[in-house]
Amino acid sequence: MAHLVDRIDWTYVVISKPYIRITSATMEGGGELSGHISIPATFAEGYKTVAFENNVFRDCTKIISVKIPEGIKEIGEGAFAGCTQLNKIEIPASVTNIGYSAFSQCENLATVIFNGNAAPGFDGSMFGGATPQNCTIYVPDGATGWGVDIPGEWNGVKIVYMSQAGGDEGEAILKIQGERLVAVELNGAKEVEIPDYVTSIAAGAFVDCETVERVIIPDSVTNIPFSVFADCGRLWANWYKALAAGGGNSGSGAAAAPGSPDGFVNIIAEVASPAPLAIPSSWADRYSGFAEKFGDDFTAALLKPSGKRDAAGKAMQVWQDFVAGTDPTDETDVFRAGIIFKDDGSPEIFVLPELSADEREKRIYRKFGKVRLNDQDWVQIQDGEEPDYNFFRITVEMK
């Protein structure tokens, strides 16, 4: 049997109703799986995923991350073998069996989040004798069954509690609850690297971190309160955002001084148009799956959550995709801004998505700047003005 979910064709066999085993998966139209994959917990008619066939994702070299839902009990032999770009995988507590070489030849695997205790029989054979060199397994506080002291090393892989990363002298201590960074203790460190299973940062996480000089934020972080780095006096001149391949995010990123890498840096991109707008229903016709995702009532659909968040972490509505020019059916397509440093060191700001000249003409883009995050007001940057600021804000609205 086959079923299309999130533009992926999943094929499965029924073990015994309502339980199924996934046997294959391809992108809609037959393409190779790529990017960030979330495996469905359920399918039509109430079928529930409990296992993967052996080798089901073998040699899918474009997969970056995988999230396995609660309820799956078994990961087959060689399931992810040869996924050379796989960087992160999240495994639920329900998994009790991981087959031999399930993650062999995954040399870029850096993060394994295991949300439960180790089941009997868990051992290093899941890596097929080729343990990833820079991999860390994150487990819940008090997790049992691993057979080693935590933090420590398990079959050649670093294993730590989710609630605390770091700890050595000169290495920052991060207090993490679930996927949320809640506090940072510098412990003599000048640099903080946030693990790529973190998805949000608490507003007070960097209080008393005046001396931090660099923060590396993974692409998994989609909610960064604007004032979170207000007390980090040295940070604005010397930090950057690490982007995962094909990544980007709809929140604020990191400040960069001239000479820093180009990319999506500390520019807050916001949709400023007031709602409601007069939006033609023909707009929805551009996107296959619009009605399936948001319903046939176009007016009601415009006010539904889009699944995206703005720079302040506030849930956005579908109509805001019209203003931004983004695809409402694709939660990864967000309005964002970036910066390029020219040869003379001055910054040049650009916005994405890149719209046609006609579409851009229908919108107003405004640029604002600050020297420091805790400056009281944003200063609007006029066209042609050289933006001598360290933090930027871009807004878009319809004319």
16: left (phi over 0), alpha (psi -120 to 50) or beta: beta
Tell me the average pLDDT across 155-163.
83
Angstrom distance (rounded) from CA 76 to CA 261: 41
Angstrom distance (rounded) from CA 206 to CA 194: 12
Angstrom distance (rounded) from CA 222 to CA 249: 6
Residue 183 pLDDT exceeds 70: yes
Evaluate whether 151 touches 167 at the Cβ level (below 8 Å). Answer: yes
CA 31 to chain centroid: 22
Angstrom distance (rounded) from CA 270 to CA 395: 5
pTM exceeds cut of 0.75: no
Give the model's confidence band at 128: pLDDT under 50 very low, under 70 low, under 90 confident, else very high: confident
Question: Tokens representing 67?
Answer: 């999230």
Q: Is 343 exposed, middle or buried (0-12, 13-18, 19+ CB in 10 A)?
A: exposed
- Mean pLDDT, the chain, rounded, equals 78
End-to-end CA distance of the chain: 49
Give the model's confidence band at 241: pLDDT under 50 very low, under 70 low, under 90 confident, else very high: very low
pLDDT, tens only, 317-354: 899 899 989 999 988 788 877 665 555 655 567 777 88
pLDDT, tens only, 45-76: 789 999 988 999 999 998 888 889 899 998 98
Residue 227 pLDDT exceeds 70: no
Ranking 194-198, 336-340, 364-368 by mean pLDDT, the lowest is 336-340
| DSSP code per residue over 175-197 | EEETTEEEEEE-TT-SEEE--TT
Please state the φ and ψ torsions of residue 283, each to the nearest 5 degrees.
Answer: -60, -40
Ranking 47-51, 71-75, 197-201, 286-290 by mean pLDDT, the lowest is 197-201
Residue 22 pLDDT exceeds 90: yes
Q: In this predicted model, which residue has the larger pLDDT, 177 or 159?
A: 159
Q: Would you state the pLDDT for residue 339?
A: 61
Q: In this predicted model, which residue has the larger pLDDT, 233 or 294?
A: 294
Percent of the chain at pLDDT > 70 equals: 78
Ranking 10-14, 137-141, 143-147, 333-337 by mean pLDDT, the lowest is 333-337
Evaluate whether 184 touches 175 at the Cβ level (below 8 Å). Answer: yes
H-type alpha helices, the chain: 290-294, 298-302, 318-324, 357-361
Residue 377 pLDDT exceeds 50: yes
The two beta strands, 214-216 and 191-193, are: parallel
Ranking 161-175, 244-258, 305-319 by mean pLDDT, the lowest is 244-258
